[in-house]
Structure 1
Amino acid sequence: MSPTVTPFSELLRRRSRADVPGAARWSGGAHDLLAGECDVADYADLLGQYAVVYDALERAAARMADHPVAAPFVTAQLTRMPAIRADLEYLVGPDWSELCCPTAATTAYVRRLNEVAATSPGGFVAHHYTRYLGDLTGGPTLARLLEERFGFDTNGVLFTIFDQVADPDAFEDTYRAQLDAAPWSAAEREAVLAEVDLAARLDRALVASLGATRAVGAPTAGLGSLPA
């Protein structure tokens, strides 16, 4: 009997879920923030930091759209920036982008994302996978958390709604099949797994940087001191 070979997509799934409890596995930093004491301004602050991250990620995706390895993963169906902009305009106002100041952790996250997007298609896919499949899977959970916490309906939670993805389960199955079909060597697959770990750590650091700012009572580095 030949040994069972675990698909690469399953290895990635296990790695991305390791050491992350419950719903936070797929709702990321917002879940961590909402699990503590926060208000609408804190959530707007987090979304402002994510605007910087997703702007970098979606610029990188545009550059990767013709790359033979990365191109299968790039699709406008996943684009989040229009929804993030709309949510921040609702939460903060039309001048939100002028008021958003990235924390050091957000800057480090974007620096790493830009670095791997310029040098490694596998590294780019690791960040693409970590963010977008987490968003797609965790979106309903995050939307419920925001609705329960702040009474949001649609405005304020557009970020969580993938209205261009008719069947999320089928979309995820296709994405995972593309991960399994990507022509990576064993070493490249290990590098993708390591980058998924790093992407998760960078996300946690981004959220922790906001929490640390609140804890010391200093003015928030992003949007948190603004009225909702």
Structure 2
Amino acid sequence: MSNNLAIKLRSGTRQAYRDAENIGFMKCLIQGVVDRECFIKFLSNLYFVYSELETVIDKNQQHPVITVMYFPELNRQASLEKDMMFYYGNLWPHFISPLTATQNYIARIYEINDHERALLLGHAYTRYMGDISAGQMLQKIAQSALKLSGYEGTSFYNFEQIPNKQEFKNRYHQALDTVPIDDITSDTIVAEANNAFYLNMEIIKELESILIQALGRAT
């Protein structure tokens, strides 16, 4: 029996998705207005988010909700480490630090890990489905704007273990409908997915102010 979680998440986060697309930083990125240092900072903050998210998901892979949606082929931490190595070299961990908004996001991941682990699914859905859907487009934009060679510096957008992305997304959405939850929990997961969108948006807004400064210096 389906819990309809896939359609609940899709329809329940539609407005948050539109709001995220309309933030200046994302508009600039989509239009090819990409500052190298700002893009690197964007990836480095995603590294912190994914490192923590994937750590707690891995620890909770036997949780009845998480186990159904445990897809390690989605993991982004190693790809982001490749990107950091490309931009900064072997000492890359010494050159990056999380923004305030990123620290807030990580704090929320810790909070739900301590109190209501099923809600981790809301964050996994928001991040991974967004990245696998828009990743190739954003990768091409970054490659062109920053004159990058091949996939160097944009490994984050490569889902090497998922050759057929549409087929995988279909499988992911089918799995969502088999998660063993009641209506109250499904509604809570949708609410948390929206929260994940807005926590991500706070990171992007903080980056936007950095981008504005960078573009101002370039004029």
User: TM over 0.5, yes or no?
Assistant: yes
- The CA deviation at 1:110 is 0.5
- The CA deviation at 1:30 is 7.3
- The CA deviation at 1:164 is 0.4
Q: Deviations over 1:140-169 (max 9, x none)?
A: 111121122112221011100101012211
CA distance 1:181–1:30, shift in 2 (3 Å): farther
Which segment is superposed worse, 139-148 or 155-164? 139-148
Q: Percent identity?
A: 23
Match of 2:105 in 1: 109
Match of 2:11 in 1: 14
Match of 1:223 in 2: none
- The CA deviation at 1:66 is 1.3
CA distance 1:30–1:51, shift in 2 (3 Å): farther
Q: Distance in 2 between matches of 1:189 and 1:154?
A: 38
SS in 2 for 1:165: coil
1:23–1:141 contact (8 Å) kept in structure 2: no
Match of 1:80 in 2: 76
Match of 2:166 in 1: 169
How many matched pairs?
211
Measured on the aligned residues, the alpha-carbon RMSD in Å equals 2.6
2:16–2:194 contact (8 Å) kept in structure 1: no
What is the identity, as a one-letter code, of the residue corresponding to 1:139? G
The one of 151, 156, 160 aligned to 2:147? 151
- The CA deviation at 1:52 is 0.6
Taking structure 1 as the reference length, the TM-score comes to: 0.83
The one of 53, 59, 66 aligned to 2:62? 66
SS in 2 for 1:175: helix
CA distance 1:57–1:6, shift in 2 (3 Å): closer
2:123–2:193 contact (8 Å) kept in structure 1: yes
More helix by share: 2
Taking structure 2 as the reference length, the TM-score comes to: 0.86
The one of 28, 36, 39 aligned to 1:40? 36
Q: Distance in 2 between matches of 1:142 and 1:165?
A: 17
2:25–2:205 contact (8 Å) kept in structure 1: no
CA distance 1:187–1:47, shift in 2 (3 Å): same
Q: Distance in 2 between matches of 1:192 and 1:79?
A: 20
Q: Distance in 2 between matches of 1:126 and 1:21?
A: 17
2:20–2:26 contact (8 Å) kept in structure 1: yes
Which segment is superposed worse, 12-21 or 110-119? 12-21
Whether 2:88 is the aligned partner of 1:92: answer yes
Match of 1:225 in 2: none
Structure 1, unpaired ranges of 5+: 218-228
Structure 2, unpaired ranges of 5+: 215-219
Q: Distance in 2 between matches of 1:33 and 1:52?
A: 23
